[in-house]
């Protein structure tokens, strides 16, 4: 089930339905040189439950464990201060319980940020979903889930189309299957999510071959996952190198290799030089522009949150990559220099993930600024 909450009492958008808002307009922000820019961020806000118990909550977010509406409101206020510091035009929020939370943030606590549009998506019965706040109207939205064997991907892939300054962008906002249950055992569901994106990319490019695409969110997979597990199996993210290409080539007949994973590259523009002709790659800023990670687990930094950019964001036409960063400062970091995880028992902390922030620059003349 997918829920949409937006201002001005516009009609809700239901599962797999396209929303057209051609009558709405918004302008992007100009930097100090007068160039038009747009800022996009992704943040796993760590189990953002409200104060009403419905039966789907994690155990520590129930009244019997001490969770309350007062704790929720205090947490929401603190989170809103973090969102203010991120200062993104478009903010993907991972692990949000319901659309009412987005509405409270955008209408009340973040009114000055002018997030006039928000959207929420989840699967039936899921505890948490995916939200997005935006200063620009949504031109189109879709949600996608996939089944592997008898299992469904726990969260949908949310596809969002926007047109800041009249220049189109497509976002795939994700929260892929976690590794709970074992890295290898859970990999097929992450690959199922990657397959959704690859197949949608094929469909989109039939009509819009040059449209820029960004994949963002918590993919629960490190950018160097293939190396970390020493090539033992094909991961949902594969580097553009001969070893990964060889492993992908051994996928059993009948499975199109490039449908099952995303190829990532540190080159600008990204290219899949070691994979079959026609394969596409996405630019990953990890190791080059982001470090050391966005999540800290068992004394190790992990790079499971991602900003993956298509080659169209490096062609000096329309929107182009400018810069990116992990927002690594107080209050996102604790005194030890690690993500300032929220503790529902004490009410202290922010999130166990750091936000990732991307700046795009309009590299050619577009719609005049308002």
Q: From CA 15, how far away is CA 118, in angstroms rounded?
A: 15
H or E element at residue 131: strand 129-134
- Quote the longest CA-to-CA distance of the chain: 58
Tokens for 317, please give them: 């036409």
Low-confidence ranges of the chain (pLDDT < 70): 1-28, 30-35, 253-258, 364-370
The rounded Cα 114 to chain-centroid distance in angstroms is: 20
Q: What local confidence, expressed as pLDDT, does residue 34 receive?
A: 58
Question: Helical H runs in 48-105?
Answer: 69-86, 99-104
Q: Per the structure block, which two tokens stand in for 249?
A: 């080539």
Query: What gap in Å lies between CA 26 and CA 76, rounded to an integer?
Result: 27
Rounded distance, CA 60 to CA 79, Å?
19
pLDDT digits (tens, 9 = 90+) for 245-302: 999 998 876 655 458 999 999 999 999 999 999 899 999 999 899 989 999 999 999 9
3-state SS assignment for residue 164: helix
Is the preceding peptide bond at 331 cis, omega within 30 degrees of 0?
yes
How far is the C-alpha of 312 from the C-alpha of 209, rounded, in Å?
9
The tokens describing 127, both together, are: 């505890």
Which is it for the CA torsion 33, 34, 40, 45, positive or negative? Answer: positive
Structure tokens belonging to residue 25: 């307009």
The pair of three-digit structure tokens given for residue 187, joined into one six-digit string: 């990999």
Residue-wise pLDDT tens digits, 157-184: 999 999 999 999 999 999 999 999 999 9
Domains of the chain: 2-24+31-226+284-362 (3.60.10.10)
pLDDT at 150: 83
The number of residues in the chain equals 370
């Amino acid at each position: 089930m997918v829920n949409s909450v937006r201002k001005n009492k516009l009609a809700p958008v239901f599962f797999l339905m396209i929303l057209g808002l051609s009558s709405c307009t918004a302008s992007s922000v100009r930097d100090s040189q007068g160039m038009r820019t747009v800022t996009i961020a992704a943040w796993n806000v760590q189990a953002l439950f409200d104060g009403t118990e419905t039966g789907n909550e994690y155990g520590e977010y129930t009244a019997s464990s001490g969770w309350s509406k007062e704790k929720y409101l205090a947490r929401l206020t603190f989170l809103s201060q973090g969102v203010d510091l991120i200062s993104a035009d478009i903010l993907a929020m991972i692990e949000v319980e319901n659309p009412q939370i987005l509405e409270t943030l955008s209408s009340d606590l973040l009114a000055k940020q002018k997030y006039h549009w928000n959207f929420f998506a989840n699967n039936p019965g899921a505890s948490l979903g995916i939200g997005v706040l935006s200063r620009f109207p949504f031109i189109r939205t879709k949600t996608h889930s996939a089944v592997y064997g008898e299992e469904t991907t726990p969260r949908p892939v949310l596809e969002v189309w926007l047109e800041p300054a009249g220049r189109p962008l497509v976002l795939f906002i994700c929260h892929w299957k976690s590794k709970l249950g074992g890295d290898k055992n859970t990999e097929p569901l992450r690959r199922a999510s990657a397959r959704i994106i690859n197949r949608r990319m094929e469909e989109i490019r039939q009509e819009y071959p040059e449209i820029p695409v960004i994949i963002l969110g918590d993919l629960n997979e490190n950018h160097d996952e293939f190396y970390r597990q020493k090539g033992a199996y094909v991961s949902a993210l594969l580097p553009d190198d001969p070893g990964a290409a060889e492993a992908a080539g051994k996928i059993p007949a009948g499975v199109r290799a490039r449908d099952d994973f995303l190829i990532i590259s540190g080159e600008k523009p990204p290219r899949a030089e070691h994979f079959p002709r026609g394969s596409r790659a996405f630019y990953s800023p990890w190791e080059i522009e982001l470090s050391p990670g966005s999540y800290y687990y068992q004394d190790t930094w992990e790079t499971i949150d991602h900003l993956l950019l298509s080659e169209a964001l490096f062609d000096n036409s329309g929107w182009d990559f400018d810069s990116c960063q992990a927002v690594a400062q107080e209050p996102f970091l604790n005194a030890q220099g690690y993500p300032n995880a929220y503790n529902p028992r004490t009410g202290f902390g922010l999130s166990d993930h750091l936000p990732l922030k991307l700046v795009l620059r309009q590299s050619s003349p577009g719609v005049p600024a308002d």
